[in-house]
Structure 1
Amino acid sequence: MGKTERRKRGTGGLYQRESDGMWVVAVPLPAGPDGTRRRKVIVRAKYADAVKELQKVRQKLERSGDLSTSSPTLSTWLDTWWERYAERLKVSTRPSYRSKIENYIRPALGNVKVDRIGPAHVARLRDYITKEKGLSSTTALGAHRVLSVILRDAEREGKIARNPCALIDAPKKRVHKVKYLDSGQARNLLAVCDSGDGTVSRDLAMAAVALLIGPRPAERLGVTSDEIDLTTGSITIAWQLQRLDFEHGCGEKAGGVWPCGRKRGGNCTRRHLDIPDSQEVQHVEGGLYLTRPKSRAGWREFTMPPLLRDTLAAYLETHEPGMCGLIFTRDLGRPIDPSDDSRWWDGLLRAVGLPDVDRHSARHTCNTILTELGYPVDVRQKIIGHASRAVNEEVYTHTSDARVTEATAAIGAAMDWRALGQTSPTG
């Protein structure tokens, strides 16, 4: 629009101040609660910049219906965001978000106005974590992702024109070589867990579930008896067994110290779990809870390999379900703590003489074998439970669908240790 072109009434104006020559954008906003007139005012030195701002303000106003007349600091927005949006976070994720907000994002950028945050500020957060705090790029990546989520909601509310986290490369995650068991090693592990007398131990049943269908460790520990149908051979992955972190309930920090004097929320005299009403959880024991998988894709049902169905049928003949129907338990039907499960996996590998890979590698092993057997990514997603095709292809693989049933049967046949007999494992 030219400098002399008239605007439509009510869409905002652009004029030059006589006092200093600055260009002023003034857009009327909805009246306040008391009926007072409101408008959004922005001042720019150059006419072209003011025109761009006028266009942005009009677009924001059309999208959101209203605008704030002043931008909050990021620290203020962090508090507002937590009240409005934290409920949608999984209960197991909330402590991690809060930690990143309080330890990294607020100290690094809290005093910056939200509408002034740009790529340089996002880079400042990365440098604060890696250079000032001396922490890893993986930690910086986690904080970057949390900030991106928070600013995405600021963009949706019209507080910023664009999420600056999208304008800069995220910190690179520290690369570790992904390790897994090949099909021969996995088969030998199962063979050594088999006593050969027709009974199925907990070690064999847990290892079979881990390697033949590749659930997350928390999903494996969260399998309940009512999710297994031995008649149809189906299994449903619908819960995760997780240890949830307690939060402080004693008040607000002052000078970096909580009123109770304890550092950890779990030791607070008024500790509590911040569980939104929208999230379904079941208390099992102590700090252990059954929670729903992190995404809808993680909640899945499919036909087990016949080998796994037979293994679980024999196992359940001699092992009664424990608390909340959990099929994998310790003494007196109590749940298995995730830390104990990790030690179980490490000890099992040492006893068998196999490479030291973490328990999550069983999931990677399953997916890789399915890939080697030639099954496409969408079939693997339905078994493994990845919400993203990219995750399945880029992270986990190297090389009620009939194809899913065929795939699970194929991996069962490929991993059938019973043909091996009682052999010593090979590395």
Structure 2
Amino acid sequence: MPRKARNGVIRPYKIEVKKTLKDGTTKTYVRWKCSFRGHQYTAQTYRACDTKLRKAIEEENTFGMTSDNNVRFGEYAAAWLERRKADTDPKTFANYTTLVETHLHPYANQKLGEMNATRCARIIDHMKVTDHHGNPTGKKASLSLRKQMRTTLNQIFKSAVADRIIPTNPMQGVPTPKNKDITHELVKERDAFTEQQAHDILVAATHLGIRDGAKEWFRLCTGMRPNEVLGAKLEDLTLAATPDGIPYGSYNVNWKLEELKKDHGCGNHPNRKGIWPCGYKRAASCPFWKWRIPEGFDMEELEGRWCLTRPKSKTGRRIPIVPSLAQAMSAYLKATEHVPNPNGLLFRDDDGNPLDPAEDMTNFRELLKNAGIDNPEGRYRHETRHTTVTILKSMGVDDGLVQEIIGHSSSLMVEHYRHASLDESLSAMRRMEQPLGLKEIGWEA
């Protein structure tokens, strides 16, 4: 039977496929097949094949193209991931890799063209927390992780549309996960500290001694992100004094501490046992290893896997140092003059290497415990950033100035954004001294 009638109408036609069975006999299978715009459609019945054909014609009439049902989701997602390696921030790429290779792996064999909005929404809603081996734990994934999944799926399908594999992006019909999906307890754990709690934390920090205490004052009194604090450089800190002897200063946020991954540089693929041409499995053991970073990525190597990379918000964000913190930092600099500093870090260990974030987290929670803060194990250091914002806004500092000091990029604050002078920013930050009782605590230089 011809594939197309003389009048141009396309209809399925019957084909016979002969297969030899294990016992040597031959069996004939009947299939129906049709071709449209270079795509082949097959089914066991005429009606099923005709349905596929009509769907393809409808897609072309509506969107100008048809879906390629031969492309599997996992195959395309892996190719998309490989392309993104060259132009994506290392931390973002690591998140993409985890989402694609772990959370999306169960859907690898599904056809890309059959991934509709309902199915994608179900994938996001059913996400589970995984252990170190990538196995689901049964606990529902956090709101943040589900938002990352929606973003990742959206980019994969946008790329597939651009490659003319699917006619539309199904993620356009998938809403962004909302705050109502997270529990009350989780919201409570991430709240800012109260003014009294912040005061108690600063008092407890003074009992640590100037070496460790100054870092905690710096963290709470600047509102910087945790990795920006650990990646702070000495050259970016400026301290001075007014004519009447009042200390003050500023810090320019140019770097953050980040763990970067390494790739093998000895070849393109490992063997079946996972061994690369260099003889090792781990990229860090490869004599020809290279950083897993996009071309032109700005970074400074420190020690081991730790590097300095550019901050999330704009480089050079200037944060004023209030008098009480300036006094603490002066005392800190004097106390750490003898500590090696090959990397020019503001906060470092006894060998001059960067402080480990995991150890910093442990020390921070121990500080909260000493300060009498409830549920210290549920805190993640980012609360100090929220605290700075809360206090500044409660003291009447406008949103635009808070945004510039803290480095927010919220679209709700963009219309208020303007460049503020150091005097104006310092005046705003000094309003925190009274509610926190900084003058009463004090440090001696």
Say which is worse superposed, 181-190 or 259-268, in terms of deviation.
259-268
Change (3 A) 1:303 1:155: farther
Letter in 2 for 1:187: H
Change (3 A) 1:226 1:154: farther
Q: Are 1:25 and 1:43, in contact at CA under 8 Å, matched by a contact in 2?
A: no
Does structure 1 residue 279 correspond to structure 2 residue 297?
yes
CA offsets, 1:96-151, max 9 Å, x none?
Answer: 2212211122x233233434421133135336644994352325544333222322
Match of residue 328 from structure 2 = 311
Change (3 A) 1:180 1:248: farther
Secondary structure at the counterpart of residue 275 of structure 1: coil
Q: Which stretches in structure 2 are left out of the alignment for 5+ residues?
A: 1-6, 14-32, 39-50, 130-134, 241-247
Match of residue 217 from structure 1 = 226
CA offsets, 1:315-365, max 9 Å, x none?
Answer: 223323723211111112221110111111112222333332332211111
Q: Are 2:261 and 2:292, in contact at CA under 8 Å, matched by a contact in 1?
A: no
1:266-415 aligned within 5 A:
273-296=291-314, 300-320=317-337, 322-355=341-374, 356=376, 357-389=379-411, 400-402=419-421, 403-415=424-436
Does structure 1 residue 109 correspond to structure 2 residue 128?
no
Match of residue 79 from structure 2 = 80
1:244-259 aligned within 5 A:
244-246=260-262, 258-259=274-275
Change (3 A) 1:113 1:264: same
Q: State the number of aligned residues.
A: 371
Say which is worse superposed, 91-100 or 158-167, in terms of deviation.
158-167
Task: Name the TM-score, length of structure 1 as normaliser.
Answer: 0.72
Match of residue 239 from structure 1 = 255
Secondary structure at the counterpart of residue 308 of structure 2: strand
Say which is worse superposed, 210-219 or 373-382, in terms of deviation.
373-382
Match of residue 9 from structure 2 = 17
Q: CA deviation at 1:221?
A: 0.7
Change (3 A) 1:301 1:127: closer
Q: What is the aligned-residue RMSD (CA, Å)?
A: 4.0
Secondary structure at the counterpart of residue 148 of structure 1: helix
Q: Are 1:323 and 1:335, in contact at CA under 8 Å, matched by a contact in 2?
A: no
Q: CA deviation at 1:390?
A: 5.4
CA offsets, 1:340-396, max 9 Å, x none?
Answer: 11111112222333332332211111111112112233222212222224599xxxx
Paired with 1:337 and 1:230, the residues of 2 have a C-alpha distance of 26
- Over alpha carbons, which structure has the higher Rg? 2
Task: Name the TM-score, length of structure 2 as normaliser.
Answer: 0.70
Q: CA deviation at 1:310?
A: 3.1
Match of residue 144 from structure 1 = 150
Q: Are 2:192 and 2:384, in contact at CA under 8 Å, matched by a contact in 1?
A: yes
Paired with 2:331 and 2:442, the residues of 1 have a C-alpha distance of 18
Change (3 A) 1:127 1:312: closer
Paired with 2:214 and 2:356, the residues of 1 have a C-alpha distance of 17
Secondary structure at the counterpart of residue 282 of structure 1: strand
Match of residue 192 from structure 2 = 180
The equivalent position to 1:163 in structure 2, one of 169, 172, 185, is 169
Secondary structure at the counterpart of residue 64 of structure 2: helix
Letter in 2 for 1:335: P
Match of residue 10 from structure 1 = none
Q: Which stretches in structure 1 are left out of the alignment for 5+ residues?
A: 1-14, 28-41, 59-66, 393-399, 423-427
Match of residue 3 from structure 1 = none
Q: CA deviation at 1:191?
A: 3.0
